[in-house]
Chains A and B, each alone.
Chain A
Amino acid sequence: MQKLDSKIPDGPLAEKWKNYKAGLRLVSPANKKKIEIIVVGTGLAGSAAASSLGELGYKVKVFCFQDSPRRAHSVAAQGGINAAKNYRNDNDSVYRLFHDMIKGGDYRAREANVYRAAEVSNDVIDHFTALGVPFARDYGGTLDTRSFGGVQVSRTFYARGQTGQQCLLGTYSSLNRQIAKGTVKMYPRRDMLDIVVINGKARGIITRNLLTGQLERHSAHAVVLATGGYGTVFYLSTLGLGSNATAAWSAFKKGALFANPSFIQIHPTSIPVLNDYQCKLTLMSESLRNDGRVWVPKKKGDKRHPTEIPEEERDYYLERRYPAFGNLVPRDVASRAAKERCDAGYGAGDSGLSVYLDFKDAIGKQGEDKIRDKYGNLFEMYEKITGINPYRQPMRIYPAGHYTMGGLWVDYNLMTTIPGLFAIGESNFSDHGANRLGASSLMQCCGDGYFILPNTLSDYLADDIRTGKIPVDEKAFEEAEENVSERIKQIMSVEGKQTISSFHKRLGKIMWDHCGMKRDSEGLKKGLELLDQLEEEFWADIRIPGSEGELNQELEKALKVADFFEVGRLMCEDALQREESCGAHFREEHQTETGEAKRDDKNFAYVGAWEYRGKGEKPGLHKEELKFEYVELKERSYK
């Protein structure tokens, strides 16, 4: 069993990155021109990495499955981006941001990585401002901030409720500049289906051109995955419908370890399911909890219209249970609390699967205009989807699968266990532990892409200046392409009756019921069984119309869903082995008397990194012990 070396540098926490960076090797400008890098994914992390690598002078090839990099799902992030600027004079600092993230992640993240993410956060804001990202400003012309769940300072920079969009358009613009300069070549409408490993190093990828169906080989000296999370395993999630695990999964199958797959964040404030054909849950930004108050009726099964329920018959359960943080408790806590109320029969709406988020008091205090200014577009969105005006009556919300803290295991250099294969942004596991704090994902993605990866990647590439162009007619490319083409043929050859989406929906239900907000050993085992059954049915009864040599959306879906069975199994395995509750991972067997998560630091303060051992084989677990030198492990209390 290989030993996991996280390559965390020695020295005091605050000096680690600075000193480590100073020791990293460089590639001379003349050599950079000869070195090719593949970046897969054009969300915040991918386009930030591609553009900064392009600026450095590398030859970069970027891939995305959409028609434009601007459509990557980072675009949908709403609330904001954190940075330790301390602009509000509320005693914020890099250390405090670091501490909040470690605590928010329920002590399951690496100290050094998190500190570094907090450290570069300020540079990210500066860079975005220089790129013309229209963050909210105060009348004096300086940047405004707001507070966010899980913290007691106001450090979240925002652009109304579209911060993700504005940041993505920022990274997109820097990417465009490099495309125009010719340092970056863009390959849109490509699905990455496999990674090519030559002599143990990642040297290229196999993509499918979604318009022609053609399989393409692309070689490079290093491959960067910025392919996001696998939250669509739940079918109903806040992710884009195209989001998938395929790229990361192909890396897993080629030997990259996959860490903490069961750490998947359920976001507390999404619009509940409204109809049977729904395939997507729309998020309402967590920032709404700044001013909205969450409640359910005090009486079980109270079906009165929310505006008819008097104040004294409302249970503001978050304020009741967590007086210190109130409605601003972290996401995992808020989600579970909502589920607890609904499961106990206090839920709102016909299905009883929702809670109220009420702005009556905020509107009363601050006025409707102020609220419109802060959340106008979110309220509009809510009204469009539900037909209900949230200025007049409370919103209904319910938790939904949102963000995957788990992902490809990476070391301090953001490199996976395959040399030359890097993973950044949501696709890696490194910074959020068992639960992510709001507005930290944008921060991490951009930090990884703009300020961290370019340094560590250059260090890796310093060995490659004499390698020369990697030929695509190598045997490894041939084999990889063969495999992909085989898999496509296999999928196309099933001539069943059911659509891919119907399988995906059933798969999502299994995952939600057995490996969702609350898990227990029995349920997880049952889930594993059901997954096997469903997968078998999938391979016998799917129907893909059309051919492989054209734009075929059903085939695209099939390739994604086929991987999700395996992802789902790994999630269940991981959830099973982690006999504790931490962050988003809540095992029914491990809770306090008041129903809070019970962590087991003695036995489980490690990163669970899984190794692929072949089809049908049980994956192998590697443990990376987490050492906490600067933070004291405490029960995470928001009371």
Chain B
Amino acid sequence: MDFKLKIWRQKNAREKGGFRTYPINDVSPEMSFLEMLDYLNKQIIESGGEPVTFEHDCREGICGSCGLFINGRPHGPMRRTTTCELHMREFTDGDTIVIEPWRSKAFPIIKDLVVDRSSFERIMHAGGFISVDTGSAPESNSLPVSKNNSDKAFDAAACIGCGACVAACKNSSAMLFAAAKIAQYALVTQGKAEAKERVDKMVRQMDAEGFGYCSNTYGCEFDCPKGISIDFIALMNREFFSSKVCRQIPGRYTRKV
């Protein structure tokens, strides 16, 4: 298969970037998208150029490193697929493929297609944990969690932190990312004790990072490679409301832990 690749090139954070077009021939339909880029880079290096820099590691859709904006969609045309799992058989021979980095104020570009997602880290630092020290855990089965809640918590916890939700959102909002973590802990018994503080802190940090606000377009859900549901955003909204209102009612805060 032959393609024309239109790729965003940017030397570093300070310099201005722009698109460059690369023709690429003899691509096997069995290649993954990133293998296709490896193949391109091999050709670029051998002809004395500078290869395209992009992030990747596990190449099996779980580490969340890779993330390219391909033809107007994060992670390309396949739903529930990360860039590394996308294969060239999904494209038509002769296509022009436009490859851009994630675009968001909270994800500044580092080089070419690599962006800085440390804003996600800071949201996690704000409250993405259950405060329990090593050694203080009770016996696992002493706190039952209903299968339904546990399964839902897993669905939320499947987030790989790739940032596609932000990239897909017209507002570059990170609500799905934050909500996934907040929901995971809100759904398991173990996380309930500090659920209220968590949602408050994480939402504030998310705002501080300069992400846009949610306007319920649900684009994030559509393009999330792990299919995380916007139901969790609703759950976060609910948690937030109770942190602002119910928590302020004396005596009410200690209930249903």
Q: Which residues of A contact B (CB under 8 A)?
A: 48, 51-52, 55, 66-68, 70-73, 75-76, 85, 87, 123, 125-127, 129-143, 159-160, 162, 164-166, 169, 172-174, 176-177, 179-180, 186, 188, 211, 240-242, 274-280, 282-283, 380-381, 384-385, 387, 450-451, 454, 497-499, 501-502, 543, 545-546, 550-551, 553-554
Contacts and interface: CB of A to CB of B under 8 A. Distances in A.
A73 B57 contact: yes
Interface in B1-45: 11-12, 28, 30-32, 35-36, 38-39, 41-42, 44-45
A279 B35 contact: yes
Contacts of B150: 134-137, 141
A242 B58 CA distance: 8
Given A134-B150, A140-B144, A240-B58, A127 B114 contact: no
B254 interface: no
B154 A177 contact: no
B51 A142 contact: no
A240 B147 contact: no
Contacts of A51: 134
A501 B38 contact: yes
B28 A543 contact: no
Contacts of A278: 31-32, 35
A211 B110 contact: yes
A317 B72 CA distance: 48
Contacts of B86: 384
Contact of B117 (A48, A68, A134, A279): A68
A241 B32 CA distance: 14
B94 to A, nearest CB: 20
Interface of B: 11-12, 28, 30-32, 35-36, 38-39, 41-42, 44-46, 48-51, 53, 55-65, 78, 80-81, 85-87, 89, 110-111, 114, 116-118, 120-121, 124-126, 128-141, 143-147, 150-151, 153-154, 157-158, 160-161, 184-185, 188, 190-191
A285 to B, nearest CB: 11
Contact of A454 (B12, B31, B65, B134): B134
Contacts of A186: 121
Contact of A166 (B80, B116, B130, B157): B157
Given A132-B185, A277-B38, A499-B45, A70 B129 contact: no
B61 A381 contact: yes
B145 to A, nearest CB: 5
A336 to B, nearest CB: 24
A132 B184 contact: yes
Q: Which 9 A-B pairs have the closest CB atoms?
A: A141-B144, A130-B137, A173-B129, A134-B154, A275-B30, A280-B59, A129-B140, A177-B129, A134-B153
Interface of B is mostly: loop
Contacts of B137: 123, 126-127, 129-131
A543 B51 CA distance: 11
Contacts of B117: 67-68
Contact of A545 (B32, B45, B63, B143): B45
Given A131-B129, A277-B39, A279-B35, A385 B114 contact: no
B110 A277 contact: no
A554 B42 contact: no
Contacts of B120: 68
Contacts of B128: 173, 176
B161 A380 contact: no
Most A-side CB within 10 Å, residue of B55, B133, B151, B190: B133
A143 B141 CA distance: 7
Given A71-B57, A75-B62, A275-B31, 14 more contacts: A67-B65, A67-B117, A127-B137, A129-B190, A132-B191, A134-B151, A137-B145, A141-B150, A142-B140, A143-B140, A169-B157, A241-B57, A385-B85, A554-B45
A169 to B, nearest CB: 6
